[in-house]
Amino acid sequence: MVAPVAAPRGRSRGVVLSLFSLCGWGWVSGQIRYSVLEESEVGTAVGNVAQDLGLKVEQLAGRRLRLGSEESRQHFAVRLDSGVLVVSERLDRERLCGAASSCVLSVQVVAENPLQLFRLEVEILDLNDNSPSFPTARRSLRIAESAAVATRFPLESAQDPDVGTNAVGSYRLNPNSHFSLDVKQLQDGKLFPELVLERALDREERPELQLVLTAVDGGSPARSGTAQITVQVLDINDNAPAFDRATYKVQIPENTPVGALLLQLNASDPDEGPNGETQYSFGVHTSEAVRRLFALDPHSGEVRVSGELDFEESPFYEIHVRARDRGVPEMEGHCVLQVEVEDANDNPPEVLLTSLLNPVPEDTPPETVVGLFNVRDRDSGANGDVSLEISPSVPFAVRSLQNHFSLVTRQSLDRETTSQYVVQLIAQDGGSPALTTSLTLLLNVSDVNDNPPRFLQPSYDAFVPENSPPGSLLCTVSASDPDDGDNSLLVYSIEGHVQGAPASSYVHINPNDGNLYAQRTFDFELLQVLPISVAVRDSGSLPLHANVTVYIFVLDQNDHSPTILHPAGNGDVPTPERVPLSAPPGYLVTKVTAVDADAGYNAWLSYRLLPESTEPSLFHVSQYTGEVRTARVLRDTDVAVQQLLILVADNGDPPLSTTVTISVALEEEALEESYKPRDFLAGAKEKPDLTLYLIIALAAVSTVALATVTLLAAWCLRRRGRAAASPRCCWAAESPSRDFFNHSSPNDFLFVKPFSHSSTAETVAAYEQVTSTLASPCDGVRDGGSRSVAKLVKSHLQNKNLGQLYPFLFALVIASTSRIIL
């Protein structure tokens, strides 16, 4: 529309006259221009076209005046009756011309007869018929709460199709607490509103603000439009999670089961979304132990027991807890959880042996400390109070000094009685129920050399046949020592002297086993009894001794032949015995006297007439006495000089013998008295003064004997009392000497018969009997022996058998005396 207007303007050469009125007209040379207000009523006259074109009203119909273009006809119409251009429809300037500041419509008028084309311009004048409006009536603005003061937020401008003063002239903002409005004017005059933050936002205080922006135009009356602006305050993580309290205190018994709830923590964070999502975790100061023993749920804040709580390990825990939100950057709050663990009696007492004297020497005096203990209980209070008890049956006691205990001896010890003690210590605490611990000690008692060795017998008898080769075992002495180890390691030795020579030159002893060996050959005829002192000592550092006497009895062997004392031996020509022919049978011719250096049976001689004699039937030789008597009446026919061959044999095994030759001369006259003085025994009975003499002697001897027997008995009783403890006291009962006596001649009782045979034999036999009786005076059998000696003496006295009693008593006295001396 504008372009067609411009084109005729270029061609017009005249002045354009414009007349503005409600229905103004313009006189324009070559160009007519009208103006009309928009929104005018239909039929409103724009201008008188006929008049302005110089046409007559009456000609109008004839010339068929009309509007040339369709567009023109749409807006306007020409009244043929008046030639006035009227508005044929409602005109909206904003629709026809938009935002252009001037709006001119080109109108063509056509007239026929002659055909003429006229151009008109109609300017449509603006009317304030539009209110400012915002493209978005409701807007929301998201602003972080952290936005700085004075930050600007551009807003949409309002639109107003009206132009000029009718367009938007100003903006207003409703009063509010945070924002102000600033309007910028661009060079083209357009206005741009901006929000300016005047005061910091806080989502937690006001999450949302409602603003109303009003645009006002400059028309009169002014029109306005509004827009609703909702300011959403965006959350910023500006709040840290906060706990109710900075410190929590909790008490919990030890041994609380795993999983038990300790406490539920709660931290609040007013921020929203992730900024307010709280997660719990242990703080950086949390110890490793706490992490092991407690569990913290990151979401719920529950603190639970997750390990074995042990009061003894730690009675107190401090848990640092951190609550952290998930904002960016994250913020955190802290609290401390103080956990007190309460003690339970869950620890038995402990007994620690710090030192122990083991083994304990047996000479340790009472109240000596042999062990030190520490006792402790990891519980506290009464749960940790410990008492220590000891088994009552041992000689040890416990002494205490606070928690230190010592083990002392209660009485003296004796290893020989008890060498080992099982000591049980029981520690008990004061909890309820109480816990106990027991400790068992094996205490050894070590040996001290406090016991001397002891021989098993008070004395020893050994028997060795004479002429035995050196080296033969004589006997074994044995001692015992109840001590231990070296203290009981015994060494035997020979002590002292015998007949001026060291005793060890007679016998040798094995130092280890106590075997006693002969060092030389013994001769009974020189030495019958050899008392040897044997010592034993143990091998302790201070050795202890004992000694014992070993009596070595040399046993006789038949190593001597009988020796003829009468008649005188060979070499000299024997003096013939003279026998009167008138001698009756039984006449004592002579008596052969022989001795044997041996003892006992070996010296028990018997006499026999050998058949080699001149006339063996003429004489009789007493087997035991050696008396040679005539066997019958002598006759003249008998050979005048008789040779008698007499065999003197001892009773040894094998027997040894000697022969003697006696010559007997048978004579008419013979000196009967010649032999008498020598026949001591035969004559005794016949001479009363000799008998009297013997009785006196006997009485004296008997008194001495009786006194001796009494003394012996007393001594025996005393010694038996001392030796009663030794069961081996009777050892000698099995001695070879006894065998020897018992078996040599089973049919003859040694002590009765031999006395009548030979004075030497009788003395020796009596000596042997008495010595054997005295060898062990405490022996019951020997007591019987003593009694039999007394009985024998008594029977001899009763029978007045003084000839036999005398040598017996003599031997008794000698033996007793020698025994006492020994």
Judged by the rule CB under 6 A, the positions of this chain that interact with ligand NAG are 358-359, 420, 442, 444, 495, 533, 535, 545, 547
Prior bond of 727 cis (ω within 30°):
no
In DSSP terms, 215 is beta-bridged to 171, 225
Whole-number minimum distance, CB 548 to ligand NAG, in Å? 8
Q: Which is nearer to ligand NAG, 219 or 453 (CB)?
A: 453
Q: Which is nearer to ligand NAG, 234 or 544 (CB)?
A: 544
CB 256 within 8 A of CB 241: no
Q: Which is nearer to ligand NAG, 358 or 622 (CB)?
A: 358
Taking the C-alpha atoms of residue 250 and residue 353, their distance in angstroms, rounded to an integer, is 39
Taking the C-alpha atoms of residue 454 and residue 728, their distance in angstroms, rounded to an integer, is 13
Q: Which is nearer to ligand NAG, 444 or 742 (CB)?
A: 444
Strand pairing of 507-509 and 501-502?
Answer: unpaired
- CB count within 10 Å of CB 627 equals 19
Q: Which is nearer to ligand NAG, 547 or 801 (CB)?
A: 547
Q: Which is nearer to ligand NAG, 338 or 420 (CB)?
A: 420
Whole-number minimum distance, CB 419 to ligand NAG, in Å? 7
Q: Which residues contact 497 (CB under 8 A, 6 or more apart)?
A: 503
Question: How many Cα atoms are found within 13 Å in the side-chain-facing hemisphere of 579?
Answer: 32
SS3 at position 801: coil
Q: Is residue 586 packed enough to be buried (19+ CB in 10 Å), middle (13-18) or exposed (0-12)? A: exposed
Whole-number minimum distance, CB 359 to ligand NAG, in Å? 5
Given phi > 0 = left and psi -120 to 50 = alpha, else beta, which region is 771?
Answer: alpha
Q: Which is nearer to ligand NAG, 504 or 533 (CB)?
A: 533
- CB count within 10 Å of CB 818 equals 15
Taking the C-alpha atoms of residue 392 and residue 730, their distance in angstroms, rounded to an integer, is 45
CB 564 within 8 A of CB 525: no
Q: Which is nearer to ligand NAG, 342 or 416 (CB)?
A: 416
Whole-number minimum distance, CB 444 to ligand NAG, in Å? 4
From residue 428, give the alpha-carbon distance in Å to each of 3, 380, 390: 123, 14, 11
Whole-number minimum distance, CB 408 to ligand NAG, in Å? 18
Q: Is residue 125 packed enough to be buried (19+ CB in 10 Å), middle (13-18) or exposed (0-12)? A: middle
Q: Which is nearer to ligand NAG, 268 or 420 (CB)?
A: 420
Q: Which is nearer to ligand NAG, 283 or 458 (CB)?
A: 458
Whole-number minimum distance, CB 590 to ligand NAG, in Å? 56
Instruction: Compute the C-alpha angle 78/80/81, nearest 5°.
Output: 125
| Torsion over CA: 795, 797, 803, 805 (sign) | positive
Whole-number minimum distance, CB 443 to ligand NAG, in Å? 8
Whole-number minimum distance, CB 504 to ligand NAG, in Å? 13
At 320, list the tokens. Answer: 């640092």
Q: Which is nearer to ligand NAG, 545 or 787 (CB)?
A: 545
Q: Which is nearer to ligand NAG, 420 or 575 (CB)?
A: 420
Whole-number minimum distance, CB 370 to ligand NAG, in Å? 12
Whole-number minimum distance, CB 420 to ligand NAG, in Å? 6
Q: Which is nearer to ligand NAG, 306 or 358 (CB)?
A: 358
Q: Where are the beta strands (DSSP E) in 325-419?
A: 332-342, 350-356, 360-361, 369-376, 386-390, 396-401, 404-409
Pick from 784, 785, 805: nearest CA to 795: 805
Whole-number minimum distance, CB 758 to ligand NAG, in Å? 42
Whole-number minimum distance, CB 570 to ligand NAG, in Å? 52
Whole-number minimum distance, CB 510 to ligand NAG, in Å? 19
SS3 at position 390: strand
Prior bond of 221 cis (ω within 30°):
yes
Pick from 281, 272, 280, 277: nearest CA to 325: 277
